[in-house]
Structure formats: C-alpha cells, structure tokens
Amino acid sequence: MSTRNARLRDLSMRIFYKNYAYLMEVDAEVEEYGQMMNELRTLSRNISIDYLSLSPKDLREAHLKRAIMTEKINTILPQKLFQLITAKTQFELEVLEQHKALEADVRDGDEEDSQATPIPEGYLWAQVWSGYDVDERVCDILAKAPRSVLLAFAAFFSKKNMELPICLVPFIEAAVCNKIVLPTSSNLTKASLGPHSLIRSIVCSPNYKVPEFC
C-alpha cells in the first residue's frame, strides 16, 4: 500500500469512527422501518378484506395499530433515509479536506503525492462501511414508500439546499403532483442511474403508481 493510500485509510478510519459510526445504527433502524412498511401494508390489506368479519373491538385495535405505525414511519423514516444517503458524500468530503490540510506537512516534495491520481468517488467510503449498500437500501425503501414519506424525504434536501439524487426524481415528482409514476423513457433513464429496484418498481407495478398504505 502506498504511503498516500495508507494515510488516507488511517484518516478515513479515524474520521468514520469519530463522526459517522452512528450510521450503523441508522442503517439498522432503516431496515426495521422498511419491514414495518411491509407489515403496515399487510395490516391495511387485512383490515379491508376482513372489515365485515371483525368485531368492533378488534377493528378499533387494528385501526389504532395502523395509526401508530403510520405515524412512526412518516415522522422518523424520512430523516433516517436522508442521513443515510447523504452520509457517503459528506464523509468523503471531510476526509479529503482534512487530508489536503495535512498533506502540506507530510509531502515536502514527495512526487507520489504531487502527481497522485484522483480518488474515485465511493472509494474512501468503501474502506470503512461494512453495512448494506446505502444507496440500494434507501432506494429500495423509497421505491415502495408512500407519498408522505417521499415528500418528507425531499423536504430535507430542500431545507439543506441540496439536490435530490436524479434517480429518485421521477418518484418525488409523482408524489408532489399526486400522480402515478409512468414508465416513460425520461423516468426510466433517470431511474436507471440508481439501483435496479427503481426501474423494477416503475415497470413491474400493475398500476405504475406510488404505493400507499391504504
């Protein structure tokens, strides 16, 4: 391993465990909320199917459970998704900025550093992240998320003056307009820039729409 790469790896590890280790918990929470979305969708379907056969008490309990789960998902999940999908870029920028600041002190004419090739995007993150691919995790969930989650997720980007990932634009635009996500060439081209689950969500949905809980 070159001296430069060794320094970058050491710096990446120190910065990650100091400022970003909490993301492992966020990733686990996002997975749990993704499972909760599936449970909520099943619960809503069962309520619709068994509506006439349920006792008033059981029906009230089912509606209460659905309301609690819906509130948790709508208020917590969007922020967790935002934290997760923006972490990689923020982390790599922080590492590179600190490395640049330290570089002058350790280089002193070292040709290896002065002529170093650019670091590929995602390389530094891959050295420290051992969880599920964050882009796939977030996009898999958003491809199946209800309109409320998509809108809240997009709001975090707006507040931070950050651009949305292009691959998610078709889903956000559909949520904003409260319309279905059509499999147009434009939508498919944008979705193809992200994980395959986004295209699959568009072309395999029988209604080509943003799913809702009920």
Total domains present in the chain: 1
Per-residue pLDDT in tens (0 to 9) along the chain, 214 residues: 468 788 888 999 999 999 999 999 999 999 999 999 999 999 999 888 888 888 999 999 999 999 999 999 999 999 999 999 999 999 999 999 998 888 766 555 554 555 567 788 889 999 999 888 999 999 999 998 999 999 999 999 999 999 999 999 999 999 999 988 889 999 999 999 999 889 988 887 644 444 454 4
**Look-up of token digits 């992200």:** 194
Give the pLDDT of residue 208: 43
Read off the amino acid at residue 10.
Answer: D
Give the pLDDT of residue 112: 52
Give the pLDDT of residue 201: 87
For the entire predicted model, the pTM comes to 0.84
Answer whether residue 209 is part of any domain.
no
How far apart CA 107 and CA 178 sit, in angstroms, is 55
Joined together, the tokens standing for residue 45 give 């379907």
Answer whether residue 158 is part of any domain.
yes
Answer whether residue 140 is part of any domain.
yes
Answer whether residue 151 is part of any domain.
yes
Answer whether residue 210 is part of any domain.
no
Burial class from Cβ neighbours inside 10 Å (0-12, 13-18, 19+) for residue 9 reads: middle
Give the residue numbers spanning the domain of 56: 3-204
Give the pLDDT of residue 108: 56
Answer whether residue 119 is part of any domain.
yes
Answer whether residue 33 is part of any domain.
yes
Answer whether residue 50 is part of any domain.
yes
Calculate the alpha carbon distances from 43 to 16, 88, 204 in Å. Answer: 39, 35, 23
